[in-house]
Amino acid sequence: MSNTKLLSTRNMVVIAILGAIAGLLMLVEIPLTFVAPNFYKLDISEVPVMIGTFALGPVAGILTELIKLLVKFVIKGSSTGGVGELANFLIGCAMVIPAGIVYQIRKTKKRAMLGMGLGIATMALAGLVMNALVLLPFYAKFMPLEQIIAAGARIFPQIDSVWSFALWCVMPFNLIKGVVIFVLTMLLYKRVSRLIKEFGRKA
């Protein structure tokens, strides 16, 4: 999609709406205590982002991701001085960009599934690295790192370091999150994309 088309009034309105919905969905969080300590919470805010990515392309997905975080920041603020939000943005983009690029090459269900699979894998890897190098050391300012690692070790006894925590808790958490997003996106995309096209005809 060309920049002119992407930045049309109709597309920017769609991106803004999807970003706002995603921002609100970020506020609904569910802990997955069987795989990670309860300060890791699952949300489905990436579903509107992925729908925007498939409908309008990866750049639209990145913009939707950004609006999502701005909406969340306006409503709830940040408890991490923006560090958590920046990490969330980068990890989200790690899924959006490959998934969007693969789907844009040929818009078929098979390509969508392939793109989402690749996106989930890159998101899980990005989440592992971002948590080990940025997020966990940052959160250590509020909770001793030993305590964080111990919380993970209560679930998986083999955890004894930041990297093993990221590998055994964070990566499976993000893989589960990715699968949930994948399923919901595949279920909702056709219906929502029809509404987007209908909006385009009326705009």
Taking alpha carbons only, the member of 84, 54, 69, 58 closest to residue 23 is 69
The token duo for 16 is 């803004």
- What distance in Å separates the CA atoms of residue 84 and residue 39, rounded to the nearest whole number? 13
Q: What 3-state DSSP class applies to 41?
A: strand
pTM of the model: 0.92
Residue-level pLDDT at 2: 54
What is the mean pLDDT of the segment spanning 11-36?
A: 96
In degrees, rounded to 5, the angle at the alpha carbon of residue 90 between the alpha carbons of residues 42 and 163 is 70
CA neighbours closer than 13 Å in the CB half-sphere of residue 79: 6
Distance CA 36, CA 158 (A): 13
Residue pointed to by tokens 């300012």: 141
Cβ atoms 85, 78 nearer than 8 A: yes
Q: Reply yes or no on whether the pLDDT at 83 is more than 90.
A: no
Give the residue-averaged pLDDT of 32-61: 96
pLDDT averaged over every residue in the chain: 93
**Proportion of the chain above pLDDT 70, given as a percent:** 96
Q: What is the pLDDT of residue 202?
A: 60
Nearest to 55 by CA among 186, 193, 188: 193
Could you tell me which of 135, 129, 122, 138 has the C-alpha nearest to residue 167? 129
Domains along the chain with CATH numbers: 3-26+38-202 (1.10.1760.20)
- Please tell me the least confidently modeled range out of 65-69, 136-140, 181-185: 136-140
Candidates 31, 17, 113; CA nearest to 71 is 17
The residue assigned the tokens 């969007």 is: 100
